[in-house]
Chains A and B, each alone.
Chain A
Amino acid sequence: MRNNKLIAYSLTGVLFIIGVVYCLVANSEYEDSKELDAMGIKGETAEKQFEATFFVSAAVANFILAALVIKSNRNVIPYLASAGISAGLIAIYIASRTVGVPVVGVEYYVGRLDLISKGFQAAAIVLSVIAIHNIRKFIALKEVA
């Protein structure tokens, strides 16, 4: 169970970093929207505002998950949510670079922050799966004993 504490702390750190990265991306999108708005490029301004809102929401979700994971005591739900949301965000990103997503369409550029966040999200999925496996193993052993 000590091992699981370490995984919980690591996952909390990873989720917090993902949240910070999304805050940075949201700030960048917001700055872009202000610049485009000043130039009178309305359609693109609205798209950037939508993206900024989405990234703020993703950041908030990751901060909440980080808090839930650190508070979880042999509860698999925060880990399931972390893995699910991270997988969902990776799927949305892949769709946005290939087939396109509603409102935004297809984006062609793969940025540095994008790659960093996807790397950490993959790590969050791996850590969540290990934590869920450990908790289930612990519960099964407890039932046998």
Chain B
Amino acid sequence: MKRKSIYSMMLGLAAISVILFSHGIVSYAQDNYSNATASVNTSILTSNSTLANNATSQSGNSTVQSIDAAIKSLNDGDKDAAKKLLLKAEESLEGKSDLVDAEKRVEASLAALKDGDINAAISHAEEAKKNLS
């Protein structure tokens, strides 16, 4: 009886984890679909208009500015400001398939900042900037 209840409890836990896991995959798939649609729309727009090209380059510049400001905040010890600026950079890099490496570096910088490893946060932010230039 005792063994039976342990097995049923374990089955329950496994079922919960499967549900959570599948939910994660489904939501990722949904977001991937909308991201793919958004990127297709973006590519059509950029190929048709030079104005859009200028906008992209301006957004790239603003991302570099955000990262630069974040590095400055990190050097000054202002973690909250650095986090906000890195999140802003992350937001501007969202969905840009050609800048995935820079986005991953910004994420790494945020993770290091959360861990309290300021030097790693700065070095990853610098790498993100290099990937953008």
Contacts and interface: CB of A to CB of B under 8 A. Distances in A.
B-side interface mostly: helix
B91 A40 contact: yes
Given A43-B94, A60-B13, A105 B104 contact: yes
A112 B115 contact: yes
Interface residues of A, number: 34
B35 A42 contact: yes
B23 A53 contact: yes
Interface residues of B, number: 36
Given A49-B24, A53-B23, A54-B24, A44 B111 contact: no
Interface string A92-116: 0000000000010111110110000
A42 B24 contact: no
B94 A56 contact: no
Given A105-B104, A107-B104, A46 B27 contact: yes
Interface in A32-69: 32, 35-36, 39-47, 49-50, 52-54, 56-57, 60-61, 63-64, 67
Interface of A: 28, 32, 35-36, 39-47, 49-50, 52-54, 56-57, 60-61, 63-64, 67, 71, 103, 105-109, 111-112
Nearest to A31: B114
Interface stretch (B14-22, B45-53, B63-71): B14-22
Nearest to B31: A46
B124 interface: yes
B118 interface: no
